[in-house]
Amino acid sequence: MVPVEYYIILSAILFTIGVLGVLIRRNALIIFMSIELMLNAANLAVVAFSSAIKSFSGQIFVFFVIAVAAAEVAVGLALIVEIFKSKHSIDVDQMSNLKG
Amino acid sequence: MSLDLILFLILALVAITTAIGMLMSKNAVYSALLLVLNFVTVAVFYLLLGAPFIAMSQITVYAGAIMVLFLFVIMLLGAEQLAPAKVLPWQRPLAGTLAFILVAEATYLLITRARPVGDIMPPTDAVNTMDNLRELGQTLFTQYLLPFEVTSILLLVAMVGAIVLTNRQKKGEPK
């Protein structure tokens, strides 16, 4: 038996590591991976709550979140490939002008 | 201390270590592989929470499809490491302070809200799990049928969008 608080604390820690990744890294791919980590942390919290109140709604919600994350990754990586083609770098510091 | 709690603590340690390793690693390929390990650990958490279907979706979609796509793009671009550049001196301390405030606030608020929900019992035997799975499928295809169909359209749009984005210069426009 694990108290639901433990899962919530773990989820908060993982989410914060994702936020730190977005804040301190300059590699666009690693920033994107940190966003995935944040989505995952939120999913963990939702499943923990859903399991604690013995309901399916949370699990179905997480299933949809996973599907949307897959779509997001496909489009996001296509954008990163396009940026790399025009700038020859995926350093986010280089992406400082509006006109590509 | 029950077996569940020991398992939870070990897995939590693995999850946090791999997440920090993902954050700190200089090489993007190592980051991606550590993130795969993190996703698998979270899948085991889903099994502990009695959500086997979500655990399997997590492994196939996240650890399988999404991370393979990431590794493919990292190796395609040859962007394992960035060229060294000057970093802002105050960026890391500021980010660390803000992250600490965030984790403290989130933990406090979520715990004060989560307390009435109660504890998580260990998942029951296999027969019961299969029953859960059946019920989950029934709910998904009756009550949540419309969101399910909308998701399929969303995936189609994402697929078309990815192809259009990467294939644009074929129309003869100078690049």
A9 and B154 within 8 Å at the Cβ level: the answer is: no
Which residues between 130 and 169 in chain B have a beta carbon less than 8 angstroms from any beta carbon of chain A? Answer: 132, 135-136, 139-140, 144, 147-148, 151, 154-155, 157-159, 161-162, 165-166, 168
Other CB atoms within 10 Å distance of the CB of residue B83: 7
Give the minimum alpha-carbon distance from A97 to chain B in angstroms, rounded to a whole number: 18
Query: Which among A10, A27, A51 has the least Cβ separation from residue B12?
Result: A10
What percentage of chain B carries pLDDT values higher than 70?
A: 85
A4 and B114 within 8 Å at the Cβ level: the answer is: yes
Would you state the pLDDT for residue A95?
78
Phi, psi of B86 (to 5 degrees): -75, 135
User: What value, to the nearest 5°, has the Cα angle with vertex A20 and ends B24 and B48?
Assistant: 85
How high does pLDDT run on average in chain B? 85
- State the average pLDDT over residues B50-78: 90
- Lowest average pLDDT, out of A42-46, B81-85, B104-108, goes to B81-85
Number of helices and strands in chain A (H, E)? 3, 1
The position carrying tokens 């129309």 is B171
Residue B8 neighbours by CB under 8 Å, 6+ apart: A2, A6, A7, B45, B48
A89 and B83 within 8 Å at the Cβ level: the answer is: yes
Burial B143-168 (b: 16+ CB within 10 A, else e): ebeeeeeebeebeeebeeebeeeeee
Give the minimum alpha-carbon distance from B19 to chain A in angstroms, rounded to a whole number: 7
Would you state the pLDDT for residue B114?
65
Tokens of residue B95, six digits: 């980010």
Would you state the pLDDT for residue B128?
62
User: What value, to the nearest 5°, has the Cα angle with vertex B37 and ends B35 and B43?
Assistant: 105
Contacts of A73 in chain B (CB under 8 A): 66, 69-70
A69 and B31 within 8 Å at the Cβ level: the answer is: no
Report the predicted TM-score, pTM, of the whole model to 2 decimal places.
0.88
Task: Convert the pLDDT of each residue in B135-153 to its tens digit.
Answer: 888 888 999 999 999 999 9
Most confident option among B24-28, B80-84, B111-115? B24-28
Would you state the pLDDT for residue B172?
58
Would you state the pLDDT for residue A46?
92
Reply yes or no on whether the pLDDT at B171 is more than 70: no
Reply yes or no on whether the pLDDT at B72 is more than 70: yes
- State the average pLDDT over residues B82-109: 85
Would you state the pLDDT for residue A25?
87
Reply yes or no on whether the pLDDT at B1 is more than 90: no
Contacts of B55 in chain A (CB under 8 A): none
Task: Convert the pLDDT of each residue in A57-78 to its tens digit.
Answer: 888 999 999 999 999 999 999 9
Would you state the pLDDT for residue B16?
95
